Amino acid sequence: MTQAPSARDRVLDAFENILITHGERSATLDAVAAEAGVSKGGLLYHFGSKDALVDGLVERLGELVSADIVNIRTAPAGVVDYFIRSSVNTESPLDRSIIAATRLAQGSHPRAQEALKSMQRSWFDVVSEAVGDPAVARAIMLVSDGLYYNSALLPSALAETSDRATESMDDLVNIIQSLVHSSQPN
Amino acid sequence: MTQAPSARDRVLDAFENILITHGERSATLDAVAAEAGVSKGGLLYHFGSKDALVDGLVERLGELVSADIVNIRTAPAGVVDYFIRSSVNTESPLDRSIIAATRLAQGSHPRAQEALKSMQRSWFDVVSEAVGDPAVARAIMLVSDGLYYNSALLPSALAETSDRATESMDDLVNIIQSLVHSSQPN
DNA sequence: GTCTATAGGACGATAGAC
DNA sequence: GTCTATCGTCCTATAGAC
């Protein structure tokens, strides 16, 4: 299952890597090819243009999101708990795809923007169904977006030691659970 | 007071404009000069390099944030109400500066990243003092970041008609106020 | 399937006229 | 204080060898 990745996958990984660590401006074909360990010509055999490279990344994001939706629905600790805790960047393949897509969405890449919006819609539907109240679901979505913004887009914005981080994550989940329970007093 | 803006200011406005609407990649010296209505040479008289242009934008952001902190502290409706409601992009000069700086922070512009972090710290201090509980203050910060993320970085992510928007903003403020009050039962 | 070489344009920055 | 002209570099993409 976990084979040595194909050249195509290595190129996509390299593209994500550079987008995440150095931003869209640095993600040139030269830089991606070098990071993937192929020549520029080799890269362009797999992805015929830079646009095709963006499409490849967006497509991969879609697949990872579909799998994630299943994980959220079936999480033992419950939808809200899992969803909030998974909203910080853990360098998982999904996190990496999301952050890379966000970098592209900051430029004018409509496909990346739409993929992220569609991801948000999927998440909102699951959370909304789980908590009942759409307004509370929206507040939860915003906290999740805030967590992503801080851990992924503004690295080390609210940096904490790792035990402080789990502690404050527990606090946050408790605060949100109190919100959910007060909105469904039955 | 509101004079015709100097060429320097027009260049900075143009730089912000392009960053916001088309992203970092499109914000070239040529494009900024054209948008500001000057030649590239004229632009480079005011800002000797592209780095100096970034510095100019970061500096302007700092000034606008300082003024905003005063507004938050003295808001008649209270710190939390004002802070949350001002977390959506209204195209104000401050909003525009923040969004432009965020675009730059996605690349590797340490100065833009630091300016945004320092802005967050200032906000957190004010909110934390107002609500008493740091954990609740953090949750409020995250909602605010989420609102910015949606209205500024993923335009029209949760698009709504304008009366639906004020209505759901009222809902959101109520939800957050209930959080604040349940944490200070005195 | 991957390489080298190169075309053709865009980029940041400098020089010098006005 | 603002312009035009230009240099050297970097970028995307193509052509053709292996």
Nucleotide nearest to A51 (CA to C1'): D12
pLDDT at A2: 66
CA distance B76 to chain A (A): 24
pLDDT tens per residue across span B72-109: 999 999 999 999 999 999 999 999 999 999 999 999 89
pLDDT tens per residue across span A87-146: 999 999 999 999 999 999 999 899 999 999 999 999 999 999 999 999 999 999 999 999
Which CATH number applies to B1-48: 3.40.30.10, 1.10.150.120, 3.90.550.10, 1.10.10.60?
A: 1.10.10.60
Residue B40 approaches strand C within 7 Å at CB: yes
CB of A8 closer than 8 Å to CB of A46? yes
pTM score of the predicted model = 0.95
**A24 interface with B at CB cutoff 8 Å:** yes
Nucleotides of chain C in contact with protein CB (under 7 A) are: 1-6, 10-16
pLDDT at A51: 97
Q: Using alpha carbons, list the distances in angstroms from residue B165 to A135, B88, B158, B179.
A: 12, 10, 10, 21
- Write down the domain spans for chain A: 1-48, 64-183
pLDDT at B147: 94
Residue B22 approaches strand C within 7 Å at CB: no
> In this structure, what DSSP letter does residue A23 have?
-
A185 vs B101, residue with greater confidence: B101
Distance A76 CA to D8 C1' (A): 61
